[in-house]
Amino acid sequence: MEDFDLDHVDRAILRVLQEEGDISQAALSEKVGASPASCWRRIKALESAGVLGRTVRLVDPDKIGKGLNVFCQVKMKTHDPATRRDFEQFIASYREVLECYSMSGEWDYLIRAVVADVREYEGLLMRGILTHEAVLSSSSHFSLKCVKYTTALPTNVSR
């Protein structure tokens, strides 16, 4: 993907849209100091360049009974590309898994799962993650409280 040059108005648009994804064109243009037509063109250009992805709504996990965040570190038996691809597809199939990162260091993957309680996580771990033939071991860490959570990326720094 090519770099996309962002000027101060583009960065302002990104800042506002990350906080208020459902803002009207009129309100956005007022906040960033550009005309509604200019904002619309810029948003379309940012979408075309892949800078802006799909629009989603954030759900409060506690309100839907999924308030337990678990971070699971996974160590693999082997690191060949086919096995890693297979494991990554396997993990992507679980709706409870919100994030999965291939890591450097002692552990090969870091997985973030959101579940209702320890019993639900035990099911995911014992009848899911640990059943994959390439998994050697895992270590789970339960979040006691969320100190900071954001989906907004900093937009004030140039590349």
User: Which domain range does residue 34 map to?
Assistant: 6-47
Instruction: Kindly state whether residues 20 and 77 are assigned to the same domain.
Output: no
Cα–Cα distance for residue pair 92/122, rounded to 1 Å: 18
Provide the residue-wise pLDDT of the chain in tens; the chain has 159 residues. Answer: 457 789 999 999 999 999 999 999 999 999 999 999 999 999 999 999 999 999 999 999 999 999 999 999 999 999 999 999 999 999 999 999 999 999 999 999 999 999 999 999 999 999 999 999 999 999 999 999 999 999 999 987 544
Cα–Cα distance for residue pair 132/88, rounded to 1 Å: 11
Evaluate whether residue 157 is within a structural domain. no
Note the pTM of the prediction, 2 decimals: 0.87
Residue 125 has a pLDDT of: 98
Q: Let me know: does 132 contact 84? Beta carbons within 8 Å.
A: no
CATH number (domain holding residue 64) = 3.30.70.920
pLDDT in tens, 26-39: 999 999 999 999 99
Q: How many CB atoms lie within 10 A of CB 105?
A: 7
pLDDT in tens, 135-153: 999 999 999 999 999 999 9
Instruction: Kindly state whether residues 71 and 134 are assigned to the same domain.
Output: yes
Q: How many domains does the chain have?
A: 2
Instruction: Kindly state whether residues 74 and 39 are assigned to the same domain.
Output: no
Evaluate whether residue 65 is within a structural domain. yes
Helix spans in 33-127 (H)? 36-48, 81-92, 118-126
